[in-house]
Chain A
Amino acid sequence: MLTAIIDYESGNLHSAHKAFQRMAREANAGEVIVTTDPDTIARADRIVLPGDGAFPACMAALKGKSGIYDAMIEAVEVKARPFLGICVGMQLMATWGREYEDTRGLDWVGGEVTRITPADPKLKVPHMGWNDLVIDAHHAVFDGIATGDHTYFVHSYHMAVTDPAQRLAHVEYASDVTAVIGRDNMVGMQFHPEKSQTTGLRMISNFLTWQP
């Protein structure tokens, strides 16, 4: 069993790597590696796509490494390997990113990513800190997790999901903010599970043992 965390030079992967390694060890879920190598992605049993920064820059960085991009598409769309997108890695799963400019996403989960614009000026952007999840639909990644559990968010853009059935959890900030999305073998988390203490570690463990 091999889990590949895709490194396309978007942000700090050290803490994600450590968190996934620890939970893989505890769940007996094999090896976790951070990789830039298309062959490793192609043979991985699970794929994790992190992401920090702006949507267009992340999409360009991912597509700029054509070997990585093609290997990821093949693994997720054709071989149906379990996939987890984190933060901007989740947002890239959308149809459109509307940050700075209109950018096509992977279009795995219909929807678009727009700026958080609270009507109340007291609400700050980025949405930064711990917020309590409201679980909208059952999913294996929520095993042992309940509505009211907290995870750590830091983002200024959020995803509106077209098909309500594909929004698996949300939090409240100004209005509903999508927290978890998914369909088939794909799941995405807007928060950082690797920074969300026991709740986040549990969801990482659930992903590593998920059989879609």
Chain B
Amino acid sequence: MLKTRIIPCLDVADGRVVKGVNFVGLRDAGDPVDAAIAYDAAGADELCFLDIHATHENRGTMFDMVRRTAEHCYIPLTVGGGVREVADVRALLLAGADKVSFNSAAVANPDVVAQAADQFGSQCIVAAIDAKTVSPGKWEIFTHGGRKPTGIDAVEFAVLMMKKGAGEILLTSMDRDGTKQGFNLPLTRAISDAVSIPVIASGGVGTLDHLVDGVTKGGASAVLAASIFHFGEYTVHEAKQYMAAAGIPMRLT
């Protein structure tokens, strides 16, 4: 049986983890590669790096980080942030990323997702969607870290991304991100029901029950979280045990 995935996400800027990661025994709390190795050992099902200050000048730092991670971690790695064109996807895949996520660039030009999927296969193209509630049961795409409204309906856009060839949706609720109030479950449910590709729920995890709800109520195939793992509130293993006890199939190894 296919298992639900737990994906720790590392926000990085200039090759360093934003706010650091607080694990027992970690050599360097700011080194994304050390953190990735620790998460791999802790039983994470995949890893995600998000370059939050991606600029042309610091791309080399990101490639080096991805390359070093791929040398030490034998689980899938998704990389996002500042991915604009097919050449960016190619460069990250060659550096060792397994999947690459498009965000603002796909909103500006949905066809870039189709071009990338045609060239490299849907399995490695993730559409990252940042959505905010605009009225009950209505969600809109926001870009630029949630600051810029686009007027685009989030559910319709998710369907468009699937049709363009995205293999997976990484859905972040901008209302919930950083609040520890839990995933936006109606949004997650609306999108996971609307698309036939896997949806990763993101934004707002504060407790292990939130992870359970994302799957059982939101219909997500995977859950992404950052701070609850980075600051040692829960280990990945504890989260998996908890979700398994709630009846969700998990990889407990």
A residues in contact (CB < 8 Å) with B: 11-12, 14-15, 18-19, 52-54, 121-132, 149-150, 152-156, 171-173, 192, 194-201
Contact = CB atoms under 8 A, between A and B. Distances in A.
A154 B167 contact: yes
Interface string B60-104: 000000010011001110000000000000000111111000000
B94 A130 contact: no
B253 interface: yes
B120 A129 contact: no
Contacts of B94: 12, 14
Contacts of B2: 123, 127-131, 153, 171, 173
Given A11-B93, A197-B40, A124 B70 contact: no
A128 B123 contact: yes
A12 B123 contact: no
B70 A126 contact: no
B232 interface: no
Given A129-B3, A155-B123, A192-B76, 20 more contacts: A11-B93, A12-B94, A14-B70, A14-B95, A15-B74, A19-B74, A53-B121, A122-B219, A126-B123, A130-B3, A130-B5, A130-B45, A132-B3, A152-B76, A153-B2, A173-B1, A194-B74, A195-B98, A197-B75, A198-B74
Interface in B188-206: 196-199
Contacts of B196: 121, 124-125
Nearest to B117: A53
6 contacts: A53-B120, A126-B123, A128-B123, A128-B168, A130-B2, A192-B76
B221 A129 contact: yes
B65 to A, nearest CB: 13
Nearest to B95: A14
A156 B196 CA distance: 11
B233 to A, nearest CB: 24
Contacts of B167: 126, 128, 154
Contacts of A125: 196-197
Contacts of B251: 130, 132, 150
A11 B94 CA distance: 8
B74 A126 contact: no
A12 B97 contact: yes
Nearest to B97: A12
B96 A14 contact: yes
Contacts of A194: 74
B243 interface: no
Interface string B195-223: 01111000000000000000000010110
The 7 closest A-B pairs by CB, nearest first: A53-B121, A14-B96, A12-B93, A130-B251, A154-B123, A124-B198, A130-B3
Contact of B70 (A18, A122, A153, A198): A18
Contacts of B123: 52-53, 126, 128, 154-156
A149 to B, nearest CB: 8
Given A124-B221, A126-B198, A12 B1 contact: no
A131 B4 CA distance: 9
A210 B188 CA distance: 46
Given A128-B221, A129-B221, A195 B74 contact: yes
A114 B153 CA distance: 34
A37 B75 CA distance: 29
A124 B121 contact: no
B10 interface: no
A96 B165 CA distance: 24
A156 B168 CA distance: 12
B5 A129 contact: yes
B143 interface: no
Contacts of A11: 93, 120-121, 124
Nearest to A122: B219
Given A14-B70, A132-B1, A195-B74, A126 B197 contact: yes
Nearest to A15: B70
Contacts of B121: 11, 52-54
B97 A172 contact: no
Nearest to B121: A53
Contacts of A155: 123
A144 B81 CA distance: 40
Contact of B75 (A14, A18, A195): A195
